[in-house]
Amino acid sequence: MNSKQLRAWVGAWPGVTEDIKWDTNRVFSVGGKMFCVIDASPADENASGGLSFKVDDDRFLELTDRPGILPAPYLARAKWICLAEPGAMRDAELKPLLRRSYELVSAKLTKAKQRELGEG
């Protein structure tokens, strides 16, 4: 997984924005709230690194018990996980989890912001 692939998956969802934070982290947000972060140099679209995103509370322990999946640094208390190893999760499982992260974060937006994004 690299930032170019991630952009192709999540970039077309309503209200998704992308920026660089903390020097080398590509952050994908909805309504100004981040739902997914990938460690990648902004100068190298094909760089791959740790991918972090929010999960449902009841899936957090299950997922972090698996090899290559860790509680995300600084965000674990908000039930974020980090795929620390490239093969920790197959695309078929990862795509719905990324969509769920987007949904979890967008559900916390104000109703006005959700309507503005075409979600509510």
Q: What is the pLDDT of residue 42?
A: 47
Greater pLDDT, 82 or 48: 82
Structure confidence by residue, pLDDT tens digits, 29-70? 999 999 999 987 645 554 445 899 999 999 999 999 999 999
Instruction: Parse the chain into domains and list their residue ranges.
Output: 3-109
User: For residue 11, which phi and psi values (nearest 5 degrees)?
Assistant: -65, -25
pLDDT beyond 90 at 71:
yes
pTM of the model: 0.89
Written out in words, the top-level CATH class of the domain with range 3-109 is alpha beta
Please state, for a pLDDT cut of 90, what percent of the chain lies above it: 71
User: For residue 103, which phi and psi values (nearest 5 degrees)?
Assistant: -65, -40
